[in-house]
């Protein structure tokens, strides 16, 4: 599930629930996801107060007070979910299937569930955050001021890769996952297979606008399901209804009626309308 809008939704849910709370318990069901987790160091957060829940790209950054101002870095990978539940004085509930770690802050239990274990959990001091290996070489945020048409135009010059693949390159811009890459190209009227270097300035204007639009719209939609949020990833409702091309191969384009096409590009499923996108 987790593309940027989902991660942003999780971030907001976490902020709402754990900001200002102190870490009371930390438990691990195992010591590794894709890579080992810093189990001891994260256990040692007990007593620290959560000061912020931020996001950089698809990484959640949970900040704490005290020496070094530690930051917990969470990535949801392909199948990760975060649940927040009230626990009050009760003892903690049994582990869910594929729940790998949990952290109790105040009366809130944050539970990390990730069947495929492509996610990540790490810890770094605030000072070392920007140079953390996972974050150091990331491109600009798609919703930030740095990602504009001129920037995209410059970054596409001389590039032969398909524009859809380039949009998914986190060195260029973060947070545009496979679904939103297809959706953005559709909204911009750009064929996803087009060589990035052949985009015009006008195409770049449209693409930047389109990427922003689909991401913002999804965040807003996700945000509406946030109230009394338990776990993000209610991917049933808004998610499916809003998609213009993704997963719609063989179905009619909602704009022109042409048949939506599908191909694998860079090993990822790609969808487009052969009439609307050139």
Partner DNA sequence: CAACCCACCTGACTGC
Partner DNA sequence: TGCAGTCAGGTGGGTT
Q: Hey, which residues are catalytic here? A: 2-3, 58, 268
Helix axes 178-188, 201-224, angle to 10 degrees: 130
* Choice between 86 and 242, CB closer to DNA: 242
Binding of residue 267 to DNA (CB under 7 A): yes
Tokens of 130: 């920007």
Residue 219 found at the interface with DNA (CB under 7 A): no
Question: Which is closer to DNA, CB of 26 or CB of 179?
Answer: 179
Considering CB under 7 A, how many residues would be counted as binding DNA?
34
Minimum CB distance to DNA smaller for 78 or for 230: 78
CA separation for the pair 262, 251 (Å, rounded): 11
Residues 122-181 that bind DNA (CB under 7 A): 133-134, 159-161, 168, 170, 177-179
Q: Which stretch binds DNA (CB under 7 A): 14-22, 46-54, 100-108, 232-240?
A: 232-240
Provide the phi-psi class of 239: left if phi over 0, else alpha when psi is between -120 and 50, else beta: alpha
Which one, 147 or 239, has the nearer CB to DNA?
Answer: 239
Looking at 20, 36, 115, 274, which residue binds DNA (CB under 7 A)? 115
Q: Provide the minimum distance between the beta carbon of 259 and DNA in the complex, in angstroms, as a whole number.
A: 18
Interaction of residue 118 with DNA, rule CB under 7 A:
yes
- Name which of residues 234 to 253 contact DNA (CB under 7 A): 235, 239
Is residue 97 a contact residue for DNA (CB under 7 A)?
yes
By CB under 7 A, name the one of 24, 96, 254, 268 that touches DNA. 268
Nearest approach, Cβ of residue 67 and DNA (Å): 27
Sign of the four-CA dihedral 76, 31, 68, 45 = positive
Q: Are 207 and 188 in contact (CB under 8 A)?
A: yes
Any contact of residue 1 with DNA (CB under 7 A)?
Answer: yes
Distance set, CA 181 to CA 49, 174, 244, 255 (Å): 37, 11, 12, 18
- Report in angstroms how near the CB of residue 204 gets to DNA at its nearest: 17
Q: Are 61 and 135 in contact (CB under 8 A)?
A: no
Binding to DNA by residue 34, rule CB under 7 A? yes
Task: Give whichever of 110 and 161 is closer to DNA, judged by the CB atom.
Answer: 161
Closest CA to 152 of 217, 200, 215: 200
Indicate the residue among 23 and 174 with the shorter CB distance to DNA: 174
Residues that bind DNA (CB under 7 A): 1-3, 6, 34, 57-58, 75, 77-79, 97-98, 115-118, 133-134, 159-161, 168, 170, 177-179, 233, 235, 239, 266-269
């Amino acid at each position: 599930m987790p593309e940027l809008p989902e991660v942003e939704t999780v971030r907001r849910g976490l902020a709402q629930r754990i900001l200002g709370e102190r870490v009371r318990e930390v438990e691990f069901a195992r010591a590794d996801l894709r890579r080992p987790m810093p189990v001891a160091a994260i256990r040692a957060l007990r007593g620290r107060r959560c000061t912020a829940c931020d996001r950089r790209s698809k990484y959640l950054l949970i900040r704490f007070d005290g020496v070094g101002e530690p930051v917990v870095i969470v990535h949801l990978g392909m199948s990760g979910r975060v649940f927040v539940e009230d626990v009050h004085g009760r003892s903690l509930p049994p582990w869910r299937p594929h729940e790998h770690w949990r952290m109790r802050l105040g009366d809130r239990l944050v539970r990390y569930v990730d069947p495929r274990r492509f996610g990540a959990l790490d810890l770094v001091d605030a000072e070392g955050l920007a140079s953390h290996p996972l974050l150091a070489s990331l491109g600009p945020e798609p919703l930030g001021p740095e990602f504009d048409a001129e920037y995209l135009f410059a970054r596409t010059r001389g590039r032969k890769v398909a524009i859809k693949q380039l949009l998914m390159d986190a060195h260029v811009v973060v947070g545009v996952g496979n679904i939103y890459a297809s959706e953005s190209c559709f909204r911009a009227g750009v064929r996803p297979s087009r060589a990035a270097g052949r985009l015009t300035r006008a195409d770049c204007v449209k693409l930047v606008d389109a990427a922003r639009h689909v991401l913002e719209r999804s965040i807003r939609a996700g945000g509406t399901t946030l109230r009394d949020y338990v776990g993000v990833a209610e991917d049933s409702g808004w998610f499916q209804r809003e998609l213009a091309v993704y997963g719609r191969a063989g179905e009619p384009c909602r704009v022109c009626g042409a048949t939506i096409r599908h191909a694998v590009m860079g090993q990822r499923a790609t969808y487009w309308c052969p009439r609307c996108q050139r």
